[in-house]
Each structure stands twice: as C-alpha cells, then as structure tokens.
Amino acid sequence: MYTEYLDLDTRAGQKVKVWPVPYEATASFAKGARAGPQAILQASYEIETWDEKLGADLADLAHFQSIPFFSAPVSGPEDCYRKMLDYLRGHCDPSSDFLLTLGGEHSVALAPIAFYREAFPDLAVLQVDAHADLRDSFQNSPYSHACVMARVRELGIPVVQLGVRSLCREESEVISRDAGPDQFVSFAWDVKAPEATAAQVRAFLGARPLYITFDADGLDPSIMPGTGTPEPGGLGYGWLADFWPHVFGDARLVGLDFCELAPQPAAGVVSESVAVKCINKILLSAFLARGVED
Ligand SMILES: [Mn+2]
C-alpha cells in the first residue's frame, strides 16, 4: 500500500495536499478507475523530479502530504459528491490549500471544483479530456462522469476544454450555443502548436484563479492505454509538455485532479508513469510561473 506522492524527504515550496479518491460507480465501459490512485502513488516513487527541459526540480518548489483515502459511499455519485464536499469543507481551506485529487472516475472532480468556487468566485476550469462531459444527465444520473462539466458550467464557471474528440449531438449544441467568454473548446483536430494554443488559453483566462481537471483519456491511447473509454486521436505527451510552461501567465493554479486512470497490467506501467509525468509537468510549470513568493 502506497500512501505518499513522490516520497520526497524535503519540505520546500508549496505544500500540495494529495487526496486519493478511489471512486468508481458510473464508469460506462471498461472498469478499473478505482485502482487509479494507488497506481499513481506507486509510480510516483519511480519518476525523476528534476526536469531537464525546464531546468528545475519539482522537489525545490513543492512538497506533498497525503490526506486519507476517501471512503466513498455506495449510495451513488450525487451522495459521493456531497460527502466529498463536506469532507473538504471540514478539513481544508480553499483559499490556501493546494489539492491534488487522484481519481477515480471523473465525477470526483466536481467536489474540489465546487469547493474552490466558494473561495474564488472568478474561478476558471481547464479540462483535458476526450469527452465534453456536458450531458445534462446520463444513465439517469446528472452526477455521472459524463455530466461533470455540465454541473461545473451550472456553477457559473468558465471552462476551457482541450483535446475533446467524442461527443453527442446534445453536447455539440451546447458547445455551439455557449462558445464565447465562458467556454473555449479546442477540439483535438483543431489543436494548434503548443505555444499558440497556450496563448489562446491565456487570453481566455486572463488573471482568473485556475483549476485543472485532467481526464486520462484526453491523452492518446497509444501512451495512455489504461483508461475506461479510450479514444484515438488524442493529445501527445510532447505536445502537453510544451503547452503547460506557456499557459500560466496571470492565471494562478489553485488545484488539480487526475482522473480515469484504470491500470492495465497487460500494458505494464506505461499509463501510471505517463500520469505522474503529466501531473509533475503541470505542477512544475505552474509553480515556476508564480515566481519565488511561495
Ligand atoms: Mn473522458
């Protein structure tokens, strides 16, 4: 049983509270996301924190402290959302605590987003995902993983969606209707060069506080086979590695989740290693952009 992220013996920089949430109830295709947090924690022990390309070490800018694995109720995703939010309100401070939430299915992203929204009324969310997750309801549940961004939009939160390439007619109509100051979608086939896309996103975000929700299936399944609903034509690691260092201009990252990793032993440890690399690159890029005040 692994409980810590990266297992650093230093205590530098930003404290990141790591919250494993092994919740899986509404997965609609392949299962396994409940094993995601444990796989990510285990893989994190094997990944270098020095980033040669950025010339910086995550261990100099952040340290990690796990909070207990969330024990999810069996009474469905809405109840899970409410209990997650209750836990956060009782144990964390959204104005000062940086949370790294490890899913679990993508529905677990809603509670930390709603939690940060309480402290930051101008919060924006950037979602990396193959799916728009904008259905009003799915399989009779408005709190399904397929609806998480519809609930986020209902909170009045502007969203950036990156890598979307699988959606239903209803979601397509929502995107067409809402495109503008509150919704920016970069479909996988429209993604420009990393710096150009980052400039678009920076312009959209302005100086808003930013939360990132990362669904593993936003990545191409060739590098992320371990996910429940893989979609071809996804984002590559190299593209994202060049994107993150340019996206945090005035936007300050307040929290992050990584969801929908469903480890596949037949694929070795590729998926969980890629997940950790993605998390570390985001954190390093965001904390470097803040400068030294932390
Ligand atoms: Mn997805």
**For residue 141, which phi and psi values (nearest 5 degrees)?**
-130, 120
Please, what are the averages of pLDDT over each run of 10 residues along the chain (294 residues)? 92 96 85 96 97 97 97 92 98 98 97 98 98 94 94 97 97 94 95 96 97 98 97 98 96 97 94 98 97 56
Q: Tell me the CA distances in angstroms from 92 to 85, 215, 247, 266, one per residue in order.
A: 10, 23, 27, 38
Find the 217 Cα to ligand 1 centroid distance in Å.
Answer: 5
Region of 89 (left: φ > 0; alpha: ψ -120 to 50; beta: rest) is alpha
Find the 146 Cα to ligand 1 centroid distance in Å.
Answer: 8
pLDDT at 292: 54
pLDDT at 294: 43
Q: Is residue 3 part of a domain?
A: no
Find the 291 Cα to ligand 1 centroid distance in Å.
Answer: 33
| Contact of 101 with 51, CB cutoff 8 Å | no
Find the 59 Cα to ligand 1 centroid distance in Å.
Answer: 30
Find the 74 Cα to ligand 1 centroid distance in Å.
Answer: 22
Domain encompassing residue 227: 17-289
pTM: 0.97
Q: Is residue 248 part of a domain?
A: yes
* Angle, helices 270-289/36-44, rounded to nearest 10 degrees: 70
| Contact of 287 with 245, CB cutoff 8 Å | no
Q: Tell me the CA distances in angstroms from 141 to 56, 144, 184, 235, one per residue in order.
A: 44, 5, 25, 29
Q: Is residue 254 part of a domain?
A: yes
Instruction: Give the chain's domain count.
Output: 1
Q: 244: Cβ–Cβ under 8 A, 6 or more apart, which residues?
A: 198, 281, 282, 285, 286
Break the chain down into helix, strand, coil percent, rounded to 5.
40, 20, 40
Find the 105 Cα to ligand 1 centroid distance in Å.
Answer: 9
Q: Is residue 8 part of a domain?
A: no
Residue whose token pair is 């710096």: 195
**For residue 149, which phi and psi values (nearest 5 degrees)?**
-80, -25
Q: Is residue 284 part of a domain?
A: yes
In the chain, alpha helices (H):
36-44, 58-61, 77-91, 110-119, 148-154, 169-178, 194-205, 237-243, 270-289
Cα(159)–Cα(168) distance, integer angstroms: 18
Find the 60 Cα to ligand 1 centroid distance in Å.
Answer: 32
Q: 260: Cβ–Cβ under 8 A, 6 or more apart, which residues?
A: 33, 36, 103, 104, 105, 106, 145, 215, 216, 217, 227, 228, 229
Residue 192: both structure tokens together? 């420009």
CATH number at 247 reads 3.40.800.10
Find the 144 Cα to ligand 1 centroid distance in Å.
Answer: 12
Q: Is residue 265 part of a domain?
A: yes
Residue whose token pair is 């009779």: 140
Cα(137)–Cα(170) distance, integer angstroms: 11
Q: Is residue 294 part of a domain?
A: no
Find the 92 Cα to ligand 1 centroid distance in Å.
Answer: 27
Q: Is residue 176 part of a domain?
A: yes
Find the 248 Cα to ligand 1 centroid distance in Å.
Answer: 23
Cα(228)–Cα(95) distance, integer angstroms: 33
Find the 3 Cα to ligand 1 centroid distance in Å.
Answer: 26
Find the 145 Cα to ligand 1 centroid distance in Å.
Answer: 8
